[in-house]
Homo-oligomer: A and B are copies of this chain.
Amino acid sequence: MKKSLSIISPEIKEILRLPNKKEKLNEIFAEIHPYDIFILVKDLMPAEVAEIITALGILKGIEVFEKFKIKKQRRIFRHFSQEWMADVLEEMPPDERVDFIKALPEDRAEEILPLVAQAERNDIKKLMQFKEGTAGSILTTEYASLERGITAKEALEKLKLQAPNRETIYYIYITDEGKKLIGFISLKKLIVSRSDALINDIMNEKVISVSVNEDKEIVAKKLSDYDFLAIPVVDDNSRLIGIVTVDDVVDVVIEEDTEDILRYGAAGEYIDYMGSGPFQIARQRILWLLVLVIMGFVSGWVIQKYAFQLQAIIALAFFIPVLTASGGNAGTQSSTVVIRGLATGEVKMKDVIKVLKKEMLTGVLVGAVMGILGVVRALIANKSPLLGVTVGLAMVATVIIGTTLGAMLPLLFKKLRLDPALMSGPFISSSIDVISLFVYFQISFLIIK
């Protein structure tokens, strides 16, 4: 398969020059999956992609179009005919359509929307109300549904008719006259049931659903916990609004993890990295860097306070980097574990005391080993046992502070419902820096004077 794809790739541009390109393209792409077509054409010019998508016909074309990022979608869209623009908007899955329209400049949207059929326009209007990040923002209205009172056989007949424009028919939702969700049945169950069985009798009445305002991460977690292929989304009156399908869950999880990782790396919100210039990237990062510079000045100020001590024993300076780094590293380890544990649900808020104990003891153990290394190095560097003791003790203290603070700060911030974006790794490290420098110089002051 891979082989045949790579043979096709260079041919495409040539085919676009032929008079019978439409037939040729259809011939080549006939049995190729839309995702593979996307891979083949994604680096072509937007006008060329638009031409290929048009040639494929709306059903297959739309599936290729969907694979592009919104930015590129907009560029391709411009090259469609008016008629095609309307077709594309009508055929896109409702959730992706809304995202796409939201990304259009307003005047452009106003120009195109009248071309779209009334039914879709209503749908768009409805979906546009839902807030970003909620179940409403990722649902699709193309679900399979049946009324009660029909038999399994009749249900299958009806499903046949619904199938072509439903995102999934493997889960079927049963609603009453007021669109209230009253049951659910899987196609598997429907197929193994006797053909004269009534839907009412074979459907599952305990339907697990989510509210339209539910956070989309919670929706993803629920869908995956229950191993569902889709989950119904209802409004405040238990009326069925749409479904979220499992393929969106993977995207939500990846997106969410990306957000968490960037946040922890103090790299700001997600932006299209490869598509952004240095100015955009710099703007994205500078705020955190400046905050951390200020914290670095505080660390410097601690040293300044003890300048007399440092002046007397210049060798104290040799251990500043290793002590601050060690506290930061121990803190990075424990905060990484705790923040990830909170995200996956392994660590819970009620575990605070357990975590605290665990990290303090871990700090004692690793700190002791690191402290010994510090003593040895200090004795080699300076042959002063007092400096050795100072460095050793400071190392143990710093590491314990590191593991403990690293684990507690994320829990504290979550508890206080403070913006978790404040809880980056560098911020944790910088906080530990200040404390460990103070501890270091204070110990040296007490021991060496």
- Is A229 an interface position by the 8 A CB rule? yes
Residues of B within 8 A of A265 (CB): 332-333, 335-337, 425
Binds B, one of A48-56, A73-81, A112-120, A283-291: A283-291
Give complex CA distance A202, B94 in Å: 28
- Does the CB pair A246–B229 fall under 8 Å? yes
Kindly identify, within residues 394 to 449 of chain A, every residue whose CB is under 8 Å from any CB belonging to chain B.
399, 425-426, 429-430, 433, 437
Identify the closest chain B residue to A292 (Cβ): B329
- Does the CB pair B366–A282 fall under 8 Å? yes
Residues of B within 8 A of A341 (CB): 273-274
Q: Smallest distance from the beta carbon of A26 to chain B beta carbons, Å? A: 15
Residues of B within 8 A of A125 (CB): none
Residues of B within 8 A of A277 (CB): 358, 361
Residues of B within 8 A of A374 (CB): 293
- Is A149 an interface position by the 8 A CB rule? no
Residues of B within 8 A of A1 (CB): 206, 208
Identify the closest chain B residue to A307 (Cβ): B314
- Does the CB pair B322–A324 fall under 8 Å? no
Given known contacts A206-B1, A253-B250, is B296 in contact with A321 (CB within 8 Å)? yes
Interface of A (DSSP majority class)? helix
Kindly identify, within residues 347 to 397 of chain A, every residue whose CB is under 8 Å from any CB belonging to chain B.
347, 351, 354, 358, 361-362, 364-366, 369-370, 373-374, 377, 381
Q: Smallest distance from the beta carbon of A40 to chain B beta carbons, Å? A: 14
Residues of B within 8 A of A365 (CB): 278-279, 282, 286
Residues of B within 8 A of A274 (CB): 341, 346-347, 351, 354
Residues of B within 8 A of A132 (CB): none
Give complex CA distance A346, B351 in Å: 37
Identify the closest chain B residue to A4 (Cβ): B206
- Is A266 an interface position by the 8 A CB rule? yes
- Is A300 an interface position by the 8 A CB rule? yes
- Is A257 an interface position by the 8 A CB rule? yes
Give complex CA distance A339, B226 in Å: 31
- Is A107 an interface position by the 8 A CB rule? no
Residues of B within 8 A of A369 (CB): 286, 289-290
- Does the CB pair B433–A264 fall under 8 Å? no
- Is A187 an interface position by the 8 A CB rule? yes
Binds B, one of A10-18, A97-105, A155-163, A174-182: A155-163
Identify the closest chain B residue to A381 (Cβ): B304
Give complex CA distance A310, B310 in Å: 10
- Does the CB pair B206–A32 fall under 8 Å? yes
- Does the CB pair B191–A329 fall under 8 Å? no
Given known contacts A310-B317, A329-B266, is B229 in contact with A229 (CB within 8 Å)? yes
Q: Looking at A292, A335, A399, which has the most chain B CB atoms within 10 Å of its CB?
A: A292
Q: Smallest distance from the beta carbon of A13 to chain B beta carbons, Å? A: 20
- Does the CB pair A322–B299 fall under 8 Å? yes
Q: Smallest distance from the beta carbon of A286 to chain B beta carbons, Å? A: 5
Q: Looking at A170, A264, A290, A333, which has the most chain B CB atoms within 10 Å of its CB?
A: A333
**Can you name 13 A-B residue pairings with CB atoms under 8 Å?**
A31-B205, A169-B191, A254-B344, A262-B336, A265-B425, A273-B341, A274-B347, A274-B354, A289-B333, A293-B322, A303-B317, A304-B318, A328-B429
Residues of chain A at the chain B interface (Cβ within 8 Å): 1, 31-33, 35, 156, 159-160, 163-164, 169-170, 187-188, 191-192, 204-206, 208, 220, 224-227, 229, 246-247, 249-251, 253-254, 257-258, 260-262, 264-267, 273-274, 277-279, 281-282, 285-286, 288-290, 292-297, 299-301, 303-304, 307, 310-311, 314-315, 317-326, 328-330, 332-337, 340-341, 344, 346-347, 351, 354, 358, 361-362, 364-366, 369-370, 373-374, 377, 381, 399, 425-426, 429-430, 433, 437
